[in-house]
Amino acid sequence: MPVQGRQFVQGNGLDLVADPNAQLDADVIATPRLNFASLTPRTLPALKPVFVPIQVVDTTPTVTADALLGVARSLLPIARVSARVRAALVYELSAEERSGQQVDADRLFDRVVQLANEEGAADEFHIAVAAMPPGWESDSNHVYGGANQVVVGDSDAAERVAFGLGWGMGLRSVPCQALGDAAFPHAGIGAEGSYSFLEQRFITASENYYDLMSGCAPQHISTYSYQKAVAWGDEASEAAERNGAAMQVPNVRSHLGGQGGHAAAVEGRVGNAPAIVRSLALSGSVDEHGFWTLFSAATSTSPPRIDAPGDFVLTLHDDSGMEMYRQPLAAADIGASAGRAGTWAVRVPMQARGVHAVRIRNAGGSLLLDNDVGLPAGPHAQVR
């Protein structure tokens, strides 16, 4: 099984992945064994999950990062991975959450998006896990969008994490139908069977397994979803090349601002910690009606991040309204959320003058967001 020289790239991992186009042994059902032709060597950018325990009141989750990744390692074509474990994030409850003893999972997800945008590397997947104190509940047990997700509770947590990672790799929900069903939109595994790394045997269509992205059990992964997950590696390689193979993760963050909204000012202060502020981190959401919101504006000690081009344009303006900076912007699809259609997040260079407004337009020039902010100037920044 030759490996092409161009596949050896710093930061990549070497893995054997099932080749959906390969032929299996003719007697696969009678004598389950794996033909070498059904495996192919491929270098994949090492998936970089970040495990973020969430503290709600005085309760933190007991599940381990390793246990959470078990199903994902078995079903998705990812290099052997282990999660970077972050210190617990203390979730600041709203008055409504505290009085009702119910966590707003969308609001918690917004906080995780903010965290990932301020301190995360471009190729990291943030997996936030929360456990509810006695007598408390959450209005959802799973919110996911882009490369970030929030999982509440231990039950089926590994399955939900695998689904969320699949979503971040570009997979999308499929019908809850058996893989061998002719109505399944992407042909399923076929009558000849497909090898399951989870169970270390061949799964046949007659066993009525379900695709990972259906959310149904028992789970397998269809040829369609598997091929899309393999293709994700190409996009991940491009992201790593844009931002450099080694991304530094800061130890200190300086917050500026908190909750904001369309045409509402986001104000705050810079933290007193002795850290070098290197960028501005902005994040928000898009609701089901296409209404754009800015919910966080902060300084960050992480370097600016170069994102893939999108269909929208973000601009920063000084106190006179003059445009100082612009860049393409993409919105990430969000799933399992009440009224949310997407999230957006950017980490841009510090500016030579203070930033007083953030604006977002679509490709046609229509204004989608015009938000007042108060972000400081960088001492050595230049206007672009």
- 59's tokens: 């309760």
Q: Residues 1-22, buried b or exposed e (16+ Cβ, 10 A)?
A: eeeeeeeeeebbeebebbbbee
C-alpha distance across the termini of the chain, in Å? 49
- 382 pLDDT exceeds 90? no
**Per residue in 128-146, pLDDT tens?**
999 999 999 999 999 999 8
- Phi/psi of residue 122, each to 5°? -65, -25
179 in a structural domain: yes
Q: 291 and 236, same structural domain?
A: no
319 and 201 inside one domain:
no
As beta bridge partners, residue 286 has: 292, 342
Range of the domain at 34: 10-243
Q: Are residues 200 and 304 in the same domain?
A: no
Residue 324 lies in a domain: yes
Question: Looking at residue 122, what is its pLDDT?
Answer: 79
| 55 plus 129 within the same structural domain | yes
Q: Report yes or no: 312 and 301 within 8 Å, Cβ to Cβ.
A: no
Residues 80 and 137 occupy one common structural domain? yes
> Which CATH number is 38's domain given?
3.40.390
Each residue of 264-316: pLDDT tens digit? Answer: 343 333 444 456 888 999 999 998 888 999 999 999 999 998 888 899 999 99
Please report whether residue 331 resides in a domain: yes
Specify whether 196 is located in the same domain as 55.
Answer: yes
Q: What is the pLDDT of residues 326-380, one digit of tens each?
A: 999 998 887 756 567 889 999 999 999 999 999 999 999 999 999 999 999 986 5
Distance CA 106, CA 27 (A): 50
For residue 300, tell me if it sits in a domain. yes
Q: Decide: 351 and 316 in contact? Cβ < 8 Å.
A: yes
Q: Pairing state of beta strands 210-211 and 219-220?
A: parallel
Q: Give residue-wise pLDDT tens across range 219-261.
A: 888 777 777 887 887 776 676 677 764 444 333 333 333 333 3
When divided into structural domains, the chain yields a total of 2
Strand partners, 283: 296, 345
CA 371 – CA 58 distance, rounded (Å): 35
Bridge partners (DSSP) of residue 40 are: 17
- In angstroms, the CA 7 to CA 229 distance is 17
Q: What is the pLDDT of residue 102?
A: 97
Percent share of the chain, pLDDT over 70: 68
Does residue 155 contact residue 198 with C-beta atoms inside 8 Å? no
pTM: 0.78
For residue range 85-136, what is the model confidence (pLDDT) as tens digits?
999 999 999 999 999 999 999 999 999 999 999 998 877 899 999 999 999 9
